[in-house]
Amino acid sequence: MMHAVQRSFSERAPPLACCTSDACEPVCDCNTVIKAECVSLSYGGRPALQDVDLSFQRHAVTAIIGPSGCGKSSFLATLNRLTDMVPGCEVDGKIAFCGRDIRDPSLDVRILRTRVGMIFQRANPFPLSIRKNIEMPLRECGVSDRVEREQRVHDVLVEVGLWHEVRDRLDKPALGLSGGQQQRLCIARALALRPEVLLMDEPCSALDPISSGVVEDLILNLRGRVTIAIVTHNLAQARRVGDHLAVFWVVDGVGRLIESGRAADVFASPSHPTTAQYLSGARG
């Protein structure tokens, strides 16, 4: 039965593909880019997250907030199936990306990840040159045209505001960049693959205030072009960048989504008492 459902999913939508040429189509133009239904997650049999229903609107920024240990980062990792890499991690429920079940066994998880990019708390540029950091994943996903790759390297570096800072040292080690520059390089690297969605797991929490501000401005710039899900500890940041807000909380030892909606609405009149206390600084 389960199998039949999954099959009908993949038959409806064309298979995912990497964006290998300049003229590639967006994966979808539907309003709800990612729809998570009844998602639960456990580590080695211990439930960490239960029954999360959350949708991500096209080209909007959804801020996910909550205290540490409430499962918000784990939830983010289910959306590009990075949870596959964690031994003992079990995910349950349904997650659709542009109408495709991302847990369909016939789906190529690598292609999914090129279309659902991810930025981590700690910037993780590879021990390669700045240029290669962006170029290599492109080549791996099938962008075989050199000119096209060069063009994309240029475009994304401009997009994240790094171009004039690094144009003279594209072939120098990426690890020589400052923390904030490294994080922007990682964002550029993900953007080069032309993702539909960018998952950001506390992208600013390891940065100094100034770099953090630069990255935040970048997120605001990307709004309207990329769908963004950002996990943050910083309520003020969530207020500044979030179009939508999702509040996670630990209820009876398990992470749950306790409230979600338009950011302005939730901040103005939270419906859940815990949210109200959290947003006012009384809890969390």
Partner 1 sequence: MADLIAVLPRRDLVLKAAVHAAALVVALAFAALLWDVIGQGLSRLSWSFLTTEPRSSGRLGGIAPIIISTVLLLLVAITVATPLAIGTAVLLVDFVRTGSLGARIVSMSLDILAGVPSIVFGLFGNAFFAIYLGLGFSILSGGLTLACMALPIMIRSTEIGLRAVPDDWRRGTAALGMTKTSALRHILLPAAAPAIIAGLMLGIGRAAAETAALVFTSGYVDRMPGSLFDSGRSIAVHIYDLTMNVAGGEKSAYAAALVLVGLLVIINAIALALSHHVLRKRITQ
Partner 2 sequence: MYRSKVDGYVGTGLAMVGGVCTLLVLTIALFLLRESWSVVQGVGLRRFLTDSAWNPTEKRFGLAPMLLASVATAIGAIVIAAPLGIGSAIYSRFYAGRQAARIQRAIVTLMAGIPSVVFGLWGLVALVPLINKIMPPGTSLLAAMLVLALMILPTVALTADAALATVPMPLQQGAAALGLSREAMIAHVLVPAARSGIVAGILLSLGRALGETMAVLMVAGNVVQVPTSVFEPVRTLTANVALEMAYAVGDHRASLFVSGLALTLIVAALAVASWRLSEARSHG
Torsions phi, psi for 192 (to 5 deg): -60, -25
Nearer to partner 1, 193 or 254 (CB): 193
Residue with tokens 């990612």: 34
Please tell me the count of residues contacting partner 1 according to CB under 8 A: 32
Nearer to partner 1, 14 or 273 (CB): 14
Exactly one of 27, 63, 107, 199 binds partner 2 (CB under 8 A); that residue is: 107
- Contact call for residue 193 and partner 1 (CB under 8 A): yes
Exactly one of 84, 150, 208, 265 binds partner 2 (CB under 8 A); that residue is: 84
Cβ 253 vs Cβ 231: under 8 Å: no
Exactly one of 120, 248, 249, 278 binds partner 1 (CB under 8 A); that residue is: 120
- Among 231, 199, 216, smallest CA distance to 69 is for 231
- Contact call for residue 245 and partner 1 (CB under 8 A): no
- Contact call for residue 87 and partner 2 (CB under 8 A): no
Residue with tokens 């003020």: 236
97: β partners? 34, 100
Nearer to partner 2, 107 or 263 (CB): 107
- Contact call for residue 144 and partner 2 (CB under 8 A): no
Q: What share of the chain is helix, strand, coil (3-state, %, to 5)?
A: 40, 25, 35
Dihedral angle computed from the Cα positions of residues 274, 279, 281 and 284, in that order, rounded to the nearest 10 degrees? 50
- Contact call for residue 179 and partner 1 (CB under 8 A): no
Torsions phi, psi for 40 (to 5 deg): -125, 155
Residues 32-71 vs partner 2: string with x where CB under 8 A?
A: ----------------------------------------
CB under 5 to 8 A by kind: which of partner 1, partner 2, none does 95 bind?
none
- Contact call for residue 141 and partner 1 (CB under 8 A): yes
Helix (H) or strand (E) holding 136: helix 130-140
- Contact call for residue 173 and partner 1 (CB under 8 A): yes
Angle, helix 179-191 to helix 130-140, in steps of 10 degrees: 20
What is the closest distance, in whole angstroms, from the C-beta atom of residue 262 to partner 1 in the complex? 29
- Among 197, 26, 189, smallest CA distance to 96 is for 197
First-to-final CA distance of the chain: 42
What is the closest distance, in whole angstroms, from the C-beta atom of residue 114 to partner 1 in the complex? 4
Query: Rule CB under 8 A: which residues touch partner 2?
Result: 84, 105-110
